[in-house]
């Protein structure tokens, strides 16, 4: 009685050894590193590694090691000064086709790394960096959707010459038709070509009008697509910023979480992440005077009034030649002739053809570049919180077309080198489909992150030691066995987090501390049951067996209900709550294994099959 088979003991020992092995990487610490990866589709090759090492050697930057792994190059350093110097050197030498980012690289030995050993992934609150919670302006999304459907509808009905007038009224489109027959034909066109539009029953007496709104399903799709496109654009922008291992994920139906480890310049991050910028290329209306249009208050048909940043007015044609959506490449530089900042632009085939046709037709005429930026901010007015939306449209330059060109040309007249770099970055990364507002911002310094780790580890150690002391004092040898099982439980939690690469956060450490306190509950139940059985039955072996067998159902019930609560927290919680739920869930599963199976295996080795007169419990 109270003896496991050799196979069962071997399996238990194997799992414990495996846990120790995969928890080991966390004791080796991390190296300061610079991570180099591709900004596009180009694969990182051995030649890139050679170029990087040669560049660092030629500039006298000392590095610890450099290796190519997982489509990236990791260069390790002994000190922070060398790391920062290497980042600046490589960013200049490699150009914009590569992402050069600061990182922390675990110092896991090669033999352990080859076995799949990895250190735990640390969250932002432990590594340091910036956290943003962004909200997408869904009002702007719906406005764009209304505009799109309005333009499509007007084009379709104009081809058939069916309507008297068509206009937008808030979130609906109102069409007034010529005849009843025109109305029937219009309804057929709408149902076949624009299924996303729903006809509203109008209460007015105008039988020749149609009121349309966007269907609920189309609204949901528009919002979902806008959120996905914004996440994709934000990823591109973060790549341009050069951030290693960023976290960009959806939260709810309208929000996005962005975490940038290692970034401390929040102003730069906010400037790039929140900008909703694009360009428009338009011809200048050279036949009319902008001052005359301002004085009379009447803008010529086919033109629109725009301003330079210094306030100078200019009339531009309504027709847009190309937009930011046609831009496939953008790089900042300096104009060799004027020594002023400029941006080299590359257009796609559609934009290139439009630009070629325009420059051929309007040679020696002026073309303007308009920079458009949308912003949204929350303000309090008369005690109410409202969203303030602003759109700025500034002319960057208006230059005379000196020759024909298509897909490649330059934009000059930019204020500064920084403005040129920001503009090229935004154009390369793409424009956000809707404005976003930063509604929450947190900055965690590297020293605070290290302090959080130190305090977290201390809390685990103190809680662990107090539990160990209590168990030994209360249950003697059985308490010592529970402590061994508890130690293995802690090792298994660390191993599971390392294998799963689940991000460990400060709330996650709280979950580990709670698990340490809860893990011995099962052993307390078992040991108290054994004491009861000893009072009822003088047979020690039966008392041990009954104690474990009869307590299992109670332990399972208690742990399963806690596990369900942890899974609900993970499913519906946000970042910090998820971190807590992950460690709690893993801790519950591992504690059941160690408290019931591991502790019994040890007790069996000590007391199983032996004629013992008393138990040290």
pLDDT in tens, 213-241: 888 888 888 888 888 878 877 887 777 66
pLDDT band at 431 (very low <50, low <70, confident <90, very high): low
Pair 19, 35 in one domain: no
Q: What pLDDT band is residue 313 in, cutting at 50, 70 and 90?
A: very high
pLDDT tens digit sequence for 129-168:
788 888 888 887 888 788 888 878 887 877 777 777 888 8
Neighbours of 94 (CB within 10 A): 17
150 shares a domain with 77: no
Domain identity same for 420 and 327 = yes
From CA 51, how far away is CA 73, in angstroms rounded?
11
Residue 241 lies in a domain: no
For 175, phi then psi, to 5°, come to -115, 135
The CATH number of the domain holding residue 594 is 1.20.1640.10
Tokens of 6: 């050799």
Q: What tokens does 613 get?
A: 């007169």
* Boundary residue ending a domain (403, 431, 459): 431
Phi, psi at 425, each rounded to 5°: -65, -50
Q: What is the pLDDT of residue 349?
A: 85
Residues 20 and 56 in one domain: no
Residue 1 lies in a domain: no
The pLDDT value recorded for residue 1 is 66
| 236 CB-contact burial (10 Å; exposed 0-12 / middle 13-18 / buried 19+) | middle
- How many Cβ atoms from other residues are within 10 Å of residue 287's Cβ? 8
Q: Is 324 among the domain residues?
A: yes
- Regarding whether 90 and 14 lie in a shared domain, the answer is no
Dist CA 3 CA 200 (whole Å): 77
Residue 264 has pLDDT above 70, yes or no: no
Parallel/antiparallel/unpaired status of strands 341-347 and 327-334? antiparallel
Give the CA-trace dihedral at 42, 46, 52, 58, to 10 degrees: -140
Instruction: Write phi, then psi, for 336 (nearest 5 degrees).
Output: -65, -30
100 burial level (CB within 10 Å; 0-12, 13-18, 19+):
buried
On the question of pLDDT at 37 being above 60, the answer is: yes
* 97 found inside a domain: yes
Confidence (pLDDT) at 377 = 61
State mean pLDDT over 511-515: 85
Identify the pLDDT of residue 449. Answer: 65
**545 and 396 in a common domain:** no
Same domain, 144 and 290: no
Question: Is 101 found in the same domain as 62?
Answer: yes
Given 181, 203, 220, which residue is the final one in a domain?
220
Cα 138 from Cα 436, distance rounded (Å): 9
98-to-92, 393, 416, 432, 580 alpha-carbon distances in Å:
10, 32, 24, 22, 36
Please tell me the distance from the alpha carbon of residue 33 to that of residue 82, in angstroms, as a whole number. Answer: 9
Distance separating the N- and C-terminal Cα atoms of the chain: 19
* Number of Cα atoms under 13 Å in the Cβ half of residue 112: 20
Kindly state whether residues 86 and 178 are assigned to the same domain.
Answer: no
Asked whether residue 316 is assigned to any structural domain, the reply reads: yes
Total domain count for the chain? 4
Range of the domain at 203: 139-220
Q: What is the CATH number of the domain that holds 196?
A: 3.90.1070
DSSP letters for 266-301: HHHHHHHHS-EEEEEEEEE--SS-HHHHHHHT-PPT
CB atoms inside a 10 Å sphere around CB 49: 17
Whether 258 and 234 have beta carbons less than 8 Å apart is answered as yes
Note the pLDDT tens digit of each residue in 339-390.
888 888 888 888 888 899 999 999 889 998 888 876 666 566 676 767 666 7
The CATH number covering residue 50 comes to 3.30.70.260
User: Do 453 and 601 belong together in one domain?
Assistant: yes
Give the domain CATH number at 317: 3.30.1360.200
User: What's the DSSP call for residue 44?
Assistant: P
Q: What pLDDT is stored for residue 275 in this prediction?
A: 63
Give the per-residue pLDDT at 500: 87
Q: Is residue 568 part of a domain?
A: yes
- Quick: pLDDT tens for 526-560: 888 888 888 777 688 888 888 888 888 888 888 89
Q: Residue 252 falls within a domain, yes or no?
A: no
Q: Return the biggest CA–CA distance within the chain.
A: 112
Do the beta carbons of residue 261 and residue 283 sit within 8 Å?
A: no
| Domain stop point among 85, 106, 127 | 106
Distance CA 267, CA 274 (A): 11
Whole-angstrom distance, CA of residue 154 vs CA of residue 162 = 10
Per-position b or e across 409-431, b if 16+ CB within 10 A of its CB: bebbbbeeeeebbbbbbbbbbbb
Q: Per-residue confidence at 55, pLDDT binned at 50, 70, 90?
A: very high
Same domain? For 211 and 99 the reply is no
Structure tokens at 44: 């990182």
* pLDDT at position 204 over 60: no
- Any domain includes 120: no
| Spatial CA neighbour of 339 closest among 416, 399, 267, 431 | 416
Residues 592 and 471 both lie in one domain: yes
């Amino acid at each position: 009685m109270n003896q496991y088979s050799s196979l069962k003991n071997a399996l238990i020992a194997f799992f414990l050894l495996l846990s120790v092995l995969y928890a080991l990487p966390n004791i080796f610490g991390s190296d300061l590193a610079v991570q180099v990866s591709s900004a596009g589709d180009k694969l990182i090759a051995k030649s890139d590694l050679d170029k990087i090492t040669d560049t660092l050697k030629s500039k006298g930057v000392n590095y610890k090691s450099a290796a190519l792994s997982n489509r990236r190059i990791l260069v390790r350093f002994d000190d922070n000064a060398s790391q920062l110097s290497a980042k600046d050197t490589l960013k200049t030498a490699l150009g914009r086709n590569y992402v050069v980012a600061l990182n922390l690289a675990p110092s896991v030995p090669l033999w352990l790394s080859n076995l799949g050993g990895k250190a735990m992934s640390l969250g932002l609150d432990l590594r340091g960096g910036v956290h943003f919670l962004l909200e997408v302006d869904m009002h702007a999304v719906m406005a764009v959707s209304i505009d799109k459907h309005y333009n499509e509808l007007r084009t379709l009905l104009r081809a058939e010459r069916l309507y008297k007038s068509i206009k937008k009224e808030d979130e609906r489109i109102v069409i007034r038709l010529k005849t009843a027959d025109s109305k029937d034909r219009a309804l057929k066109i709408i149902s076949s070509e624009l299924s996303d539009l729903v006809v509203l029953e109008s209460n007015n007496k105008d039988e020749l009008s149609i009121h349309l709104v966007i269907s609920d399903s189309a609204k949901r799709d528009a919002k979902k697509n806008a959120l996905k496109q914004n996440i994709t654009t934000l990823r591109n922008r973060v790549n341009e910023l050069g951030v290693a291992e960023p976290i960009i994920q959806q939260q709810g139906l309208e929000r996005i979480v962005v975490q940038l480890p290692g970034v401390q310049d929040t102003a730069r991050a906010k400037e790039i992440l929140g900008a909703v910028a694009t360009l428009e290329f338009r011809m200048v209306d050279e036949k009319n005077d902008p001052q005359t249009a301002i004085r009379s208050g009447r803008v010529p048909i086919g033109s629109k009034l725009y301003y330079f940043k210094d306030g100078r007015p200019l009339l531009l044609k309504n027709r847009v030649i190309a937009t930011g959506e046609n831009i496939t490449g953008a790089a900042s530089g300096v104009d060799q002739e004027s020594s002023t900042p400029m941006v080299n632009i590359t257009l796609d085939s559609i934009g290139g053809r439009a630009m070629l046709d325009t420059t051929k037709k309007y040679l020696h005429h002026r073309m303007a570049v308009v920079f458009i930026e949308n912003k949204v901010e929350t303000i309090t007015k008369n005690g109410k919180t409202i969203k303030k939306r602003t759109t700025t449209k500034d002319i960057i330059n208006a230059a005379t077309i000196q020759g024909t060109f298509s897909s490649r040309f330059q934009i000059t007249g930019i204020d500064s080198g920084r403005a040129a770099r920001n503009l090229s970055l935004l154009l390369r990364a793409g424009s956000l489909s809707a404005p976003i507002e930063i509604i929450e911002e947190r900055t965690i310094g590297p020293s605070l992150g290290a302090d959080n780790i130190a305090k977290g580890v201390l809390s685990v150690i103190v809680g662990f030691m107090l539990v160990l002391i209590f168990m030994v004092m209360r249950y003697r040898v059985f308490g010592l066995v529970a402590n061994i099982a508890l130690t293995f439980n802690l090792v298994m939690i660390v191993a599971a987090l390392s294998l799963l690469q689940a991000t460990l956060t400060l709330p996650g450490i709280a979950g580990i501390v709670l698990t340490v306190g809860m893990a011995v509950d099962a052993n307390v139940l078992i040991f108290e049951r054994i004491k009861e059985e000893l009072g009822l039955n003088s047979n020690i072996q039966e008392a041990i067996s009954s104690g474990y067998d009869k307590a299992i159902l109670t332990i399972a019930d208690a742990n399963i209900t806690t596990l369900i609560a942890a899974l609900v927290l993970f499913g519906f919680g946000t970042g910090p709550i998820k971190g807590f739920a992950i460690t709690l869930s893993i801790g519950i599963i591992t504690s059941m294994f160690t408290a019931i199976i591991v502790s019994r295996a040890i007790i069996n080795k000590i007391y199983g099959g032996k004629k013992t007169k008393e138990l040290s419990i």
